[in-house]
Structure 1
Amino acid sequence: MNTRNRHAHGRRWLAALAVAAVGASTLGIGAAAAAAAPRAEASDPRPAVTPAATAPDDDLGARPYMGWSSYSMQVYAGNGSTWITADQIIAQSDAMHEKLQSAGYEYINIDAAWNDGVDEYGRPTPSAKLYPNGLQAVIDHIHGNGQKVGLYAIPGISPQVYEADLPIYGAPDCSTGDIVKQPIQQADYWGIGYRIDFSNPCAQKYVDSIADMFGEWGIDFLKFDSVTPGSGIGDLSLDARDDVAAWSQALERNGIWFELSWALDIRYADYWAQYAQGWRVEWDVECYCEKTALTTWDNIARLFPRAADWWRYAGPDRGWNDFDSLNVGNGKMDGLTRDERRTAATLWAVAAAPMYVGNDMTQLDDYGIELLTNPEVIAVNQAGRPAHPVSTASPQQTWYAANPDGSVTVAVFNLGRTDADLTVSLPDIGLTGSAKVRDLWARKNIGTAEGSFVASDVPIHGARLFTFTPAKGTTVELNDDDAQLTYEGAWSRNGGEEAVAASQSLTVSVFDSSQGGSAPQAGSSRVIAVNDTDPSIAYSGNWSHSGGRGLGDHQDDVHYAEADGSAFQYSFVGTGIDWVTETHESQGDAEVYIDGVLAGTVSTYLDPSQGRGVQQAVFSKRDLPNGSHTIRVVKKSGQFMLLDRLDVVQESLIDVDHVAFDRAAPEAATVHLLRDAGELTGIHRDGTALKSGADYTVDGDAVVFGSTFLSALPDGDTALEFRFRGDLRDDVHWTRDDGAAVSMTFSGTSVSVKGPIAPDQGEVEVYLDGKLVDTVDLRGDARLTQQKLFAKDGLKKGRHTLRLVKASGDVMRVDALSYVTG
């Protein structure tokens, strides 16, 4: 166990250069620079800095940006603070202009260490050593190539600028000595700067003065690093949200793209979307393998669960999930195989993540250029419709996104350890019927699929990317999350209003009491063990896996982290959860959050005299409302934090988990359903459905297995599986406000609505092309899912709009809207 916190180590070399060398990232100066800086008069006669010469771009953030970032090469070169010279940045700009710009790449973003101090107003000044002819000459060269330029900053203000008490430009009554929050608090992950007090109007003036200066220089982009909650800290001990709001206001009027970094906390996703154009969702992609590689496969693979969590928070009207640099341009430096390089490019494309290269663009190889410039793949990215997975339970995954024309973008990923055929079920991606298939990487049509499609021989860590275009008469089904649905009014997602498809096992024990056999004890608990390797567990920070320890771990393995702030997160459906781990003298405290709320701080420390505790439930939560929940555990102290498994307590669906059949006294066995019988889709044995009416009967909530069926089972235990339907994709949107509406515009000849009925629902008005065509009553005696609520056939070919408006009832739930192509 010798894992390092790579982000902390990677960025600390910046701080180690002395604060003056990272003044831009701290908005500060070193002690020597502070002493030498001339003190300007508060009534400086020069005019205030005007905004950028170029008018703000009304479309800023409408699409994921494309470009290049210096940080991967700063790390790779091993001399990050001196790599970003004028000559180097100009060379990268020229290389982009030659090789990538025609494909849409336009941003040249210079990361940390671009400056060497501040001016007399505490504003960062470019490094004279890096840019002997001035940074402006470099900016002008980049703009001359038809490109945009970005810089870097972090929250807070440096101690030196605070202590120097400098006047704030354009604000004669303000100074930097007045805008630090008291008592003094840390502002960033590394402890470089002080937190700013934004209750003082002068604080906004200070940020404005820097942003306006950037605008005057012609800066088009700002990466704002060490944003909290996130950046390894989620407990609000560091909170940069005020900085984010202030910088957003200052940058917006200058037309400057605002990108937040790193590993932002998903609980505040709506906040990030309110103030920024993009936000990083995971730790650095770089492996910190100096002069060896830019990244590793593990750093790519860990993005899949992040993408599954974040996809619904991104889009043209919100902003973009940032996966960090796309390091696929040169096989000799990427650290990835050819197949892994294409998989990374595919993930960035279908997730609508900003596509910015991290390689030395002067050294791109032919395959890298091919990956980065495929026009059909780039079109998927720029369409801005983040894909979501059918399931993440398997390493063979299908991700898809519905498009406005009815087509579906489909990516298949083989995250496993062997080559595999990957089957795409058309109903799983919302298509019932047939569809034409186009291979986007190959840029050719490859035939028609009906019911399913098989991508053959997808290599280890490989991917394929397709467009499925439905044929005439194919049904296109949209989930409540799909981007083609537009919501008006106050809507929420899930929050216990959803009903989840579920199953529960029943053990049938067959014995013969005349031969000395006995029945087992019946119970009703339903606990599902989730091992630490489950792909749905999202690890943030630097984690390692240790298997074959021989210490009694569940499935003989654990995940572990060393850096404080490292965390794991798991979303589950149920009524409770246990964190099961090891206890030991090398371990310490951790904070546990349930649904974003601190539920407690637990200790995993064990006195050395007691040795080691194995499979210990150090945290348990019960009595949660049945539905979707999230547990997040953050390391606070100790050398290590471990995860062995999570035990999820799910709502029981049947009243017992065992029934017995005695051959000496044969009788039917009865099980009572705890969910409405209308939701039971079947009972299965070894994956094969039993025959209703023959093997069993259903009468109200009672399921009766006849003695004929039971006597045919073998002696011992046989497992039967009760399967229950849930909402489509196990989620819904819901509102309590009368007048709230959802609409869908489509091209087709018929349309239908499917969703739940329930006692707490009421009437919904249905409008088609602006005309009220029906009022549907969604009340029901029980909560039943996927009910047919409305249908209209015989529509004229062309575009139509369906609109549903809540008219009455406590709640309206939206699940699925469908149409048939004409």
Structure 2
Amino acid sequence: MNTQNRHAHGPRWLAALAAGALTLGFGATSAYAAPQAEASVPVASAATAVTAPADDDQLGARPYMGWSSYSMQVYSGNGKWITADQIIAQSDAMHEKLQPAGYEYINIDAGWNDGVDEYGRPTPSATLYPDGLQAVIDHIHGNGQKAGLYLIPGISPQVYEADLPIFGAPDCSTGDIVKQPIQQADYWDIGYRIDFSNPCAQAYIDSIADMLGQWGVDFLKFDSVTPGSGIGDLSLDARDDVAAWSQALKPHGIWFELSWALDIRYADYWAEHAQGWRVEWDVECYCGTEALTTWENIARLFPRAADWWRYAGADRGWNDFDSLNVGNGAMDGLTRDERRTAATLWAVSAAPMYVGNDMTQLDDYGISLLTNPEVIAVNQAGRPAHPVSMTTKQQTWYSMNPDGSATVALFNLGRTDADMKVSFADLGLQGSAKVRDLWAQKNIGSFDGEFTAEDVPVHGTRLFTVTPAKGAAVALNDDDARLSYDGAWSRNAGKETLAAAQPLSVSVFDSSQGGAAPEPGSSNVVAVNDTDSAIAYSGNWGYSSGRGLGDHQDDVHYAEADGAAFQYTFTGTGIDWVTETHESQGEAEVYLDGVLVATVDTHLDPAQGRGVQQVVYSVRDLADGGHTLRVVKKSGQFMLLDRLDVVQASLVDVDGVVFDRAAAADPTVHVLRDPGELVGVYRDGAALKKGTDYSVDGDAVTLSAAYLSTLPDGDTTLQFRFRGDLRDDVHWTADDGAAVELAFRGTAVTVTGPIAPDQGAVEVYLDGTLVDTVDVHDDARLTQREWFAKSGLGKGDHTLRLVKAGGDVLRVDALSYVTG
């Protein structure tokens, strides 16, 4: 026990706690606020007790569907917007309008509790629930629904100081389980961190979870989880809390949902312990009664979905995008097109679909969005989509289905209506295919190689199923959900080779006309303007152009609210943040790969005026590969982004060449990656002709003087493109006997992957029979080489299995088959 509190436990301690009650706002409600003197433990009837789910209905097998109280708490401006009457009204409205479509969870967010019992366990508010919370939970269950509650990490100072006995653990008390010296447990600094090296700590969590199970609770949102929740430097770390709650909730079959903006570096940990996890900040705009959300808060989810999609699935858990607030146009803060776009993003990302609207006020269009059976089927299939590319405002996202079809979502994130073309090759399909519009619930025809969706509106969407014809080829990447892995496998971790490109500056002049050779600049630094679609802005940002102040491309993005941030994921060895400095600006925190690396000051003394295109943060010598820069506004009136300069690894031995028309010669450059990986040389996206415009001899690439003479005087940029592993990723294992398997229906199958010095033998099984042993060892690391191909298979279902049989590692990249 806490040596400062060796006093008898019981009612006098509860009365003392009541006298010092802790009052908190709805956005940061303590899980363990001080109790009322008469607090008691609710007792559930046997009918409301929850048992572990049956094997055929595994908890978390599909994204959950339901409703959360939090958006309406924010919208109402009243942190007590979760009264019994209101929750019962939402349950009844769901039962009538949404439950037939699969919605079943009624989740009560922060603010439901206002005290603790004599064992330090949270007690429901008697003010909000005059007949008891149990009556509300019973009503929810009576409607055939599930009930959820909300807690946060840690233990309140009052419960610690009270040194209360822990229910079911007679030798334990709450004064013994706080980590010493005392540490902050949550983002809001409400509670103390628990010391889980003490077995009494797990007993305390178990006692609360057992109580929730008695009440009939089916769901727990666990908020302020770190790393994440605005803190990624491990100064706060709630992973022990997560593990303890996961262990405690599992016997009761209670869904465990983590919040908010969790750190992706620990994705495997979240998947081990929870059924879902928030990947971004709140979707609410905190606009009072003006709106629930904004388009900007929807748009910023696209980069997060692109980062997180591969970490979700039926055997792992689900990426949570927060409430889907599309049910009432007068409330949502979105246009009709934006509402459908949000619903599409949630659906194709297999994100939990839970409404934030007042369900008693849903409009007809909102109900149609939330109940379309074909769209819900996409969500419940649980195969998160991923983008073909994030470098454009008109984006194609897709996922492959077990029958060989692809679910395809088109998103127009631009400023004008646009025709959007879908290339079947980009989806991994070769040949013709039938296309079905899922929102319209109708077939739109058969197409060969591609089709075009016309007039996709601003911030609008289209959603299709593309089903290949018999005889078409279907290609699957290594991280496709259709592939199953046995044994210990990892993804990338330096074992991948990235596709890359480097510009080469060709400076053309004519010395006979008095021209002088220019000085070509560095070619491995790529400028990324603030308008680039791959930059993810969170919080409220403005855009200003035509400023005439000397900014890059004469424009900037700017934010005024502290906490606003931008994030950019890049491939390279360094990056610069280029912005303005001015008296109106202040400090910003810079995170690299999730770690706080610097706090920079962009304030400039008024006497110095304004600094334009200033490098305020710079890093070099990073490992060549993927990195993420995130910058968060900390102080000042404004924070600006002008551009980012990305430093790429050198792929060519020089930055540029000079061509003199008066002394024409064929310049030669040397590539620094294996020449077998050179895809080609390009100008403005068009490929130069190998053998005519340029030639390759080993690592030497010679540009033809005849071609260069056609270029205009001045600088022209040529681009050297190098192949990488398909989609820049691989799965790999070091364990002999580890395997990957694909079940398919078709008449032919092909395996494509890298060859490398550290690889060896791979056994290939078809339908359970060893048909080949392939040697994928080579002196050079080369990508996308054919390992194995087999045609003439009988029509019907087949299974391909690859087993590591030699070498240090086995890398898996791509499998393809021909439908039959």
Establish whether TM, by shorter chain, passes 0.5: yes
Once the two structures are superposed, the pairs formed by residues 133-532 of structure 1 within 5 Å of their partners are: 133-522=131-520, 525-532=523-530
- The secondary structure found in structure 1 opposite 2:290 is coil
Please point out which of 50, 57, 60 is paired with 1:54. Answer: 50
How far apart are 1:678 and its partner, in Å? 1.9
- Kept after mapping to 2: 8 A contact 1:316/1:384: yes
Deviation at 1:541, TM superposition (A): 5.1
Per-residue deviation at 1:513? 1.3
1:77 is aligned to 76
Report if the CA contact (8 A) 1:233-1:565 is conserved. Answer: no
Distance verdict in 2 for CA 1:550–1:243, change over 3 Å: farther
The residue number in structure 2 matching 1:28 is 32
**So what's the TM-score if we normalise by structure 2?**
0.92
Moved more, 71-80 or 370-379: 71-80
Residue 226 of structure 1, CA deviation: 1.3
- Which of 710, 713, 723 matches 2:711? 713
CA distance in 2, matches of 1:770, 1:506: 51
Q: CA deviation at 1:559?
A: 4.0
Structure-2 change in CA distance of 1:803 and 1:465 (3 Å)? same
Query: How many angstroms does 1:597 deviate by?
Result: 4.8
Query: Deviation at 1:592?
Result: 4.0
Q: SS where residue 664 of structure 1 aligns?
A: helix
Q: Distance in 1 between matches of 2:44 and 2:503?
A: 72
**Map of 2:4 onto structure 1:** none
Deviation at 1:713, TM superposition (A): 3.0
* Letter of the structure 2 residue corresponding to residue 79 of structure 1: N
Name the stretch that deviates more: 495-504 or 221-230.
Answer: 495-504
1:700 CA drift (Å): 1.6
How far has the Cα of 1:193 moved from its partner? 1.7
1:19 paired with 2:23, answer yes
The answer to whether the 8 A contact 1:27-1:122 is kept is: no
State whether residues 44 and 215 of structure 2, in contact with CA within 8 Å, keep that contact through their aligned partners in structure 1. no
Q: Please tell me whether the aligned partners of residues 24 and 115 of structure 1 are also in contact (alpha carbons under 8 angstroms).
A: no
Does residue 779 of structure 2 align to residue 781 of structure 1? Answer: yes
Give yes or no for contact 1:22–1:116 (8 Å, CA) kept in 2: no
Structure 2 distance, partners of 1:362, 1:287, is 21
Classify the secondary structure of the residue corresponding to 1:749: strand
**Distance between the aligned counterparts of 2:737 and 2:761, measured in 1?**
11
Cα distance, 1:208–1:337 mapped onto 2, change above 3 Å: same
Unaligned runs of 5+ in 1: 1-15, 41-45
Aligned to 1:68, the other structure's residue is in SS state: strand
Classify 1:207/1:517 alpha carbon distance in 2 versus 1 (closer, same or farther; 3 Å): same
SS of 2:367's equivalent in the other structure is: helix
Alignment deviations for residues 325-365 of structure 1 (CA, whole Å, 9 cap, x no partner): 11111111111111111111100000000001111111111
Contact 1:222 1:256 in 2 (8 A): yes
Deviation at 1:47, TM superposition (A): 12
Q: Secondary structure at the match of 1:571?
A: strand
Q: Please state whether the residue corresponding to 1:500 is helix, strand or coil.
A: coil
**1:94 & 1:746 partners in 2: Cα distance?**
44
Query: What is the CA distance between 1:525 and its match in structure 2?
Result: 4.1
Query: What residue identity is the alignment partner of 1:355?
Result: M
The farther-off stretch of 612-621 and 54-63 is 612-621
Give me the TM-score of the superposition, normalised by structure 1: 0.92
Whole-Å separation in 2 of the counterparts to 1:380 and 1:391: 21
Shift in Å at residue 637 of structure 1?
A: 5.9
Structure 1 position 53, deviation (Å): 2.3
* AA in 1 matched with 2:59: L
Determine the C-alpha separation between the residues in 2 that align with 1:685 and 1:540: 35
| TM superposition shift of 1:789 | 1.2
**Superposition deviation, residue 563 in structure 1:** 6.0
**Conserved? CA contact 1:48–1:169, under 8 Å:** no
Give 1:798 deviation, angstroms.
Answer: 1.7
Partners of 1:541 and 1:567 within 8 A in 2 = yes
* Paired residue type of 2:32: G
Q: Distance in 2 between matches of 1:652 and 1:205?
A: 56
Give the partner amino acid of 1:360.
Answer: D
- Structure 1 residues 447 and 340: alpha-carbon distance in aligned structure 2, compared to 1, 3 A threshold: same
- Aligned length, in residue pairs: 798
2:40/2:117 contact within 8 Å kept: no
Deviations 1:679-702 (A, max 9, x none): 222223333322222222222222
The Cα offsets for residues 20-46 of structure 1, whole Å up to 9 and x where unpaired, read as: 88799523233xx47x36899xxxxx9
Which of 633, 641, 644 matches 2:642? Answer: 644
One-letter amino acid of the counterpart of residue 800, structure 2: L
Percent identity, aligned pairs only? 79
What SS does structure 1 have at the residue aligned with 2:94?
Answer: helix
Deviates more, 1:544-553 or 1:617-626: 544-553
Superposed CA RMSD in Å reads 2.6
Is this contact kept in 1: 2:505–2:655, CA < 8 A? Answer: yes
CA deviations over 1:736-775 (Å, ceiling 9, x no partner): 3332222111111111011112223222111112221111
User: After superposition, where does 1:546-565 map in structure 2 within 5 Å?
Assistant: 546-561=544-559
Aligned partner of 1:64 in structure 2 is 63
Residue 821 of structure 1 aligns with an amino acid whose one-letter code is: T
Question: Structure 1 524/701 Cα, relative in aligned 2: closer, same or farther at 3 Å?
Answer: farther
Contact map agreement 1:764 1:804 (CA 8 A) in 2: yes
Q: 1:511 to 1:563 in 2, by over 3 A?
A: closer
Worse-superposed segment, 543-552 or 502-511: 543-552
Cα distance change of structure 1 residues 253 and 544 upon mapping to structure 2, 3 Å threshold: farther
Corresponding residue of 2:10: none
Alignment of 1:715-754 (within 5 A): 715-754=713-752
Any gaps of 5 or more consecutive residues in structure 2? 1-19
Q: 1:321 to 1:732 in 2, by over 3 A?
A: same
> In 2 relative to 1, CA 660–39 (structure 1 residues): closer, same or farther, beyond 3 Å?
closer
Partners of 1:625 and 1:611 lie apart in 2 by 38
CA separation of 1:20/1:398 partners in 2, compared to 1, >3 Å: closer, same or farther? closer
| Conserved? CA contact 1:494–1:628, under 8 Å | no
CA distance in 2 between counterparts of 1:376 and 1:705 reads: 54
Deviation for aligned residue 1:555: 3.0
1:455-510 per-position Cα deviation (integer Å, ceiling 9, x unaligned): 11111111011111111001000011100111222222223322222222223333
Amino acid at match of 2:467: T
Shift of 1:593: 4.1
- What SS does the aligned partner of 1:206 have? helix
* Mean CA deviation greater in 534-543 or 700-709: 534-543
**Deviation of residue 585 (structure 1)?**
5.3
Deviation of residue 632 (structure 1)? Answer: 3.5
Once the two structures are TM-superposed, the CA of residue 656 in structure 1 deviates from its matched residue by: 2.2
Q: Distance in 2 between matches of 1:500 and 1:253?
A: 44
1:202-247 Cα offsets, whole Å, 9 max, x none, are 1211111111111101000011111111111112222211111111
1:641, CA displacement in angstroms? 4.6
Contact 1:522 1:656 in 2 (8 A): no
Return the offset for 1:635. Answer: 5.1
